[in-house]
Amino acid sequence: MTTQDKTFYWTPSEEFLANSNMKKFLEYVNVPDYDALIQKANEDPAWYFESAMQFGGVQFNEPYRQFMDNTKGHPWTEWCVGGKTSIVLNCIDKHKNTPTYNQPALVWEKETGENGTLTYREYDAEISKLAAGLKSLGVGKGDVVGIFMPSIAETYIAFFAILKIGAIVMPLFSGFGPQPLTTRINDGGAKAVITADGTWRRGDPLPLKPLLDEIKDDVPSLEKVIVARNLGDRVDTAMTAGRDYWWDELVADKPSDFPTEVLDAQETSILLYTSGTTGKPKGTVWTQVGFITRMITDIAICSDFKPGDRFFFMSDMGWMVGAMCAIIPSLLSGSLLVVEGAPDYPQRDRFWRVIDQYEVSFPGVSPTLVRGMMRYGEEDVSKYAFDNLRVTISGGEAWTETPWLWYFKNVCREKHPIVNITGGTEMGGNILIQPVTKPIKPSAFYGPCPGVGADVVNDAGESMPAGEVGELVLRHASISMTKSLWQDDERYLDTYWNIIPDMWVHGDWAMRDEDGYWYLLGRSDDTIKISGKRTGPSELEGVIMETGQVAEVAVVGIPDELKGSVLYCVCVPLPGVDADDKLVQTISNALIDGMGKSYRPKQVIFVSDLPRTRNMKVMRRVVRAVLTNTSAGDLSALVNPETVEELKAALLG
């Protein structure tokens, strides 16, 4: 080590290393150590991913004839060519006739305190019944089915039931309002949506099904809506005959052993939307074999998830972590804890209590969640023993040192590792990771995940030396990477592969330190992340424009200690429209009604014009710099530099 030992807050013991999945894998592939594995995996990603797949016991209905084919170029790399396999085969079906089949698969708690457990046998039966129900409604292979549900047991049953019939899962954030629902359902061409009558939000019943009724005339592809009873008689739920079906009635007479569709390994499994800085949300396309292979490499091998571990990440299905929650424990013979509602309601220590009560060994956290829980102090955490805790994974955004150290001290008790991961919806996996077998620095990553070919480069694609910031890129494809964007190959190439020729540009700034540890320094575009959900500014700006009260608007996310980011809206009112409190409320209500309560703006600011380039592109980075009182950099491209001073004055006003 070139730095002092105090730089590393956790180092694996010899006993930990001896019992680690990484040690077993290194022996399996006959590689001496992790650094040698990284080198060999990046030189030969096909060797690495195939070895990991075999190590993890991925099953096939029919064997593949070629593991990797990149003859069409990196963007169009194909995997397991000719093979037949599926997520359901490897997460559910493989457990039949094994001891795991009678072990807990899913443990759940509702906000009301009601709880329960499903064994793999019971889980499988419920999945089969819903799969048969969907087929009876004419939903089948290749159809897109949305999941618009809170974090309840039925959400995960729905996830696997859709996949079981060869249909495509389209997760939808349960906090969405009408506009983002309409956009995604139309773009994906969803034939059906599975939802709930509603959910609980801090003691109040919140209807969900009525949102689908509100947009029914705007989503012509949507033929069927299946509704789970979660609130019961606490809400009135209108049902349209021939379109809407109660879940319990649909599955009442269905078999508990419905067959799983045999699928091509590269068949689309999940259509998950993520937003960029311009245009409509991007539909990322995951395959049957890609995501499960990456969960073996990233979570089993690098992060040490073992059979019997219990996974818990308090996440909505609409985020990538929702799919991780479904697949990680079931693929790796563990169990999942599902918790509805907020981490600090009905009791402010609820998050810590459920980890302790339900014997979670492998929790997931985001820096935003930890910052939110820190405000209650250490007392709430100290009363729980966390006897089963082994490993924590963290993702969603970059850490700062203060919350990292707080969690490590108060939850990990300075004896359990935090595995820092980062990737993206487009990756279907991670790019950087802190494996449990390496010393840990706060907020840092030991380096790239094996086999992904990550680098930090300048605009010419040249590697940057330690201490210098550059673009995070991948020099070749990996098995879980989106196989294009949904029905938009040109945008796929332009977004990721054409910025620096023959490299995947991920859109993050990164750097390496003198020890070789990696750090993320934020997005290199303008994507906004609110409470863990990435949203493009154009989508938010479109909602505001629809009020008919503003001529132009720039929405930016500003760092916030509690939420990660908060929204600021800089608006140019239409002529004749008063820039007053009434207009502020109109804009705020538009975002809440259109996007969800998480998108309530921190501040609405009125100006006469927005900073723009000579080709009239709004420079959001300049807006953000003014709002954060930081350097805006080169302003020579501005056609109207006077707007910077006006914005400063408006902010002070």
Instruction: Pull the structure tokens for residue 447.
Output: 């380096």
Q: Which helix (H) or strand (E) holds 628?
A: helix 620-628
Collect contacts of 550-555 with beta carbons under 8 A, ≥24 apart: 550/574, 550/577, 550/587, 551/575, 552/609, 552/610, 552/618, 553/610, 554/610, 554/618, 554/620, 554/623, 555/528, 555/601
Residue 125 reports pLDDT greater than 50 = yes
Half-sphere exposure of 323 (CA within 13 A, CB side): 30
Residue 529 reports pLDDT greater than 80 = no
Among 221-225, 457-461, 591-595, the range with the most confident prediction by mean pLDDT is 221-225
Candidate from 196-200, 503-507, 633-637 with smallest mean pLDDT: 633-637
- pLDDT tier at 631 (50, 70, 90 boundaries)? confident
Q: What is the mean pLDDT of the chain?
A: 92
Task: Mention every residue, 6+ apart, whose C-beta is less than 8 A from residue 96.
Answer: 124
DSSP state, 485? B
Calculate what percentage of the chain has a pLDDT beyond 70: 95
CB 14: neighbour CB atoms within 10 A?
7
Candidate from 185-189, 463-467, 610-614 with smallest mean pLDDT: 610-614
Residue 371 reports pLDDT greater than 90 = no
Residue 393 reports pLDDT greater than 50 = yes
**Predicted structure pTM score:** 0.85
Please say whether the dihedral angle defined by the alpha carbons of residues 180, 182, 185 and 189, taken in this order, is positive or negative: negative
Distance CA 322, CA 7 (A): 33
> Do β-strands 168-171 and 144-148 pair in parallel, antiparallel, or remain unpaired?
parallel
Calculate what percentage of the chain has a pLDDT beyond 90: 76
Identify the pLDDT of residue 179: 87
> Could you tell me which residues are beta bridge partners of residue 559?
565
Identify the pLDDT of residue 71: 97
255/403: higher pLDDT: 255
CATH architecture of the region 528-652: 2-Layer Sandwich (3.30)
Identify the pLDDT of residue 124: 98
What is the arithmetic mean of pLDDT over 234-259? 96
Instruction: Pull the structure tokens for residue 355.
Output: 């980890």
- Summarised one tens digit per residue, pLDDT across range 431-472 is 999 999 999 998 899 999 999 999 999 989 999 999 888 899
Residue 636 reports pLDDT greater than 60 = no
Q: Is the peptide bond before 346 cis (omega within 30 degrees of 0)?
A: yes
Half-sphere exposure of 471 (CA within 13 A, CB side): 19
Residue 240 reports pLDDT greater than 80 = yes
Among 541, 598, 597, 602, smallest CA distance to 572 is for 541
Identify the pLDDT of residue 319: 86
Candidate from 229-243, 270-284, 472-486, 562-576 with smallest mean pLDDT: 270-284
Identify the pLDDT of residue 574: 86
4/233: higher pLDDT: 233
Burial 223-255 (b: 16+ CB within 10 A, else e): bbbbbbebbeeeeebeeeeeebbebeebbeebe
> How far apart, in Å, do the first and last CA atoms of the chain sit?
52
Contact assessment for residue 124 and residue 354, using Cβ atoms and an 8 Å cutoff: no
Identify the pLDDT of residue 10: 95
Half-sphere exposure of 473 (CA within 13 A, CB side): 26
Q: Which helix (H) or strand (E) holds 69?
A: strand 66-69
Q: Which helix (H) or strand (E) holds 559?
A: strand 550-560
Identify the pLDDT of residue 3: 33
Identify the pLDDT of residue 343: 93
Identify the pLDDT of residue 148: 97
Residue 44 reports pLDDT greater than 80 = yes
Q: What are phi and psi of 335, to 5 degrees?
A: -140, 165
Identify the pLDDT of residue 5: 42
- pLDDT tier at 110 (50, 70, 90 boundaries)? very high
Q: Which helix (H) or strand (E) holds 565?
A: strand 564-573
The H-assigned helical ranges of 3-66 are 14-18, 21-29, 34-43, 45-55
Identify the pLDDT of residue 6: 57
Identify the pLDDT of residue 401: 80
- pLDDT tier at 4 (50, 70, 90 boundaries)? very low
Q: What angle do CA 582, 550, 278 make, to 5 degrees?
A: 125
Instruction: Pull the structure tokens for residue 370.
Output: 């930890």
- pLDDT tier at 525 (50, 70, 90 boundaries)? low
Helix, strand and coil percent figures for the chain, each rounded to 5: 35, 25, 40
